[in-house]
Amino acid sequence: MQEYGIETKKGLEFGLYTLGDHLADPRTGKRISAQQRIKEIIELAQLAEQAGIDFFSVGESHQDYFTTQAHSVVLAAIAQATEKIKIASSSTIISTLDPVRVYEDFATIDLISDGRTEIIAGRASRVGNFELLGYDLNHYEELFEEKFALLLQINEEEIVNWEGKFRAPLRDARIIPRPKRGKLPIWRAVGGPAASAIRAGRMGVPMFLATLGGPASIFKRSIDAFRETARESGFDPDRLPVATAGFFYIAETTQDAQREYYPHINEGMKLTNGRGYPKQHFAQGADPRDVMNIGSPQQVIEKILYQHELFGHQRYIGQMDFGGVPFDKLKRNIEYIGEEILPAIRKYTKKTKADTNE
């Protein structure tokens, strides 16, 4: 795990992520400017750091209602504005980028941040980036697999010899600068069915699993499949971290949390995904067995601990800013996290000496 900067003895890492969506607050119908949204994301990372949160990441989406298309630029600003918190992309759509440029960018951010930077590479669920950046959607899978493999190779080797289908060959190409610790933690973003998790396991790379809603036990199947396939493929699953990412929101009571966050998720999903979030499913989200971490502080602590027991994962990251949530509510959430969530999950998930063998 240490190869990926994870210290298991400290317990489950807790982080926040944003997709950089740029949506109106459904209660007021007003949308802040793109500039204000980007500045608030940077400030959110600072507040997260002050509250003791371990990790903050920013995603890349190339269509309407988003504002962090240049997510690496936003991350560079966050790197400069913070000192301790780990920072990453969630995700970098490696399929439609040049892995060399991505590595140069993130190695640079890593140097600015003094070694706090990671990459989570994904394939995109919306595909506006393919046409915009000049790629054929028919190569959706191949593009990802080839470019992700190249990104991993660049991470391992400073001088790269490589040839593939979707990029000019590299002949004794020196890819610099190198990150502070020589290598960056690089994760594979995984969503949906277990097949995607199995591919991550086959490659022996850490997995970031999207868990938006539904029973936690369903997602355990993907995690088990990941570890099992890693083992079969000759990797030690105990050295491969697993992270989960999903909706997160805290208010005084679970009902308050649902009431406050639901319109944002429902209206936001309609615009960015083409379908709202059915209220019936959202109502079930309050069940302790559901993976959605929306509720009172106590409810959310119980859920995160239940998920940790089930998944044995190393990091959880929450998305609390989707759909135009006003900034004062985000600040309030960060207070809850710092005062109640972090102390509880650290207390119950940190390892005693007897537990660790690293």
Partner 1 sequence: MKVVALSGSIIGSKTRTAMNYVVEVFNDQYPDVDITLIDLADYDIQFSDGRNYLDYKGDTKFVTETLMGADAIIIGTPIFQASIPATLKNIFDLLPVSAFEDKVASMVVTAGSSKHYLVAEHQLKPILAYMKAKIVQTYVYIEEVDFDRQQIVNDDILFRIERLVEDTVLLTRTYTKMREEQEAKYNF
Footprint on this chain of partner 1 (rule: CB under 8 A): 63, 125-128, 137-138, 140, 255, 258-259, 262, 273-275, 278-280, 282-283
Smaller CB separation from partner 1, 99 or 295: 295
Q: How far is the CB of 137 from partner 1 (least distance, A)?
A: 6
What amino acid occupies position 101? Answer: R
126 vs 239 by CB, closer to partner 1: 126
- Residue pair 26/324 in contact by the 8 Å Cβ criterion: yes
Buried b (16+ CB within 10 A) or exposed e, 261-286: bbbbbbbbbeebeeebbeeeebeebb
- The smaller minimum CB distance to partner 1, of residues 73 and 271, is found at 271
**Residue placing its CB nearer to partner 1 in the complex, 46 or 125:** 125
Q: How far is Cα 17 from Cα 284, in angstroms, rounded to an integer?
A: 23
Min dist CB 256 to partner 1, Å, is 8
CA separation for the pair 190, 198 (Å, rounded): 9
Q: At its nearest, how many Å lie between partner 1 and the CB of residue 91?
A: 16
Closest CB 186 distance from partner 1, rounded Å: 26
| Smallest gap from residue 96 Cβ to partner 1 (A) | 13
Least separation in angstroms between residue 207's CB and partner 1 is 23
CB of 295 to partner 1, least distance (A): 11
At its nearest, how many Å lie between partner 1 and the CB of residue 257? 8
Place of tokens 């060959």: 169
Cβ-based nearer residue to partner 1, 256 or 302: 256
Nearer to partner 1, 140 or 235 (CB): 140
How many angstroms separate the CA atoms of 9 and 146, rounded? 35
Of the two residues 261 and 311, which places its CB atom closer to partner 1 in the complex?
261
Is residue 288 within 8 A of residue 268, CB to CB? The reply is no
Q: Residue 64 or 339: which CB sits closer to partner 1?
A: 64
Phi-psi region of 121 (alpha: psi -120 to 50; beta: other; left: phi over 0): beta
Residue 110 or 260: the one with the smaller Cβ distance to partner 1 is 260
Output the smallest distance, CB 249 to partner 1, in A. Answer: 11
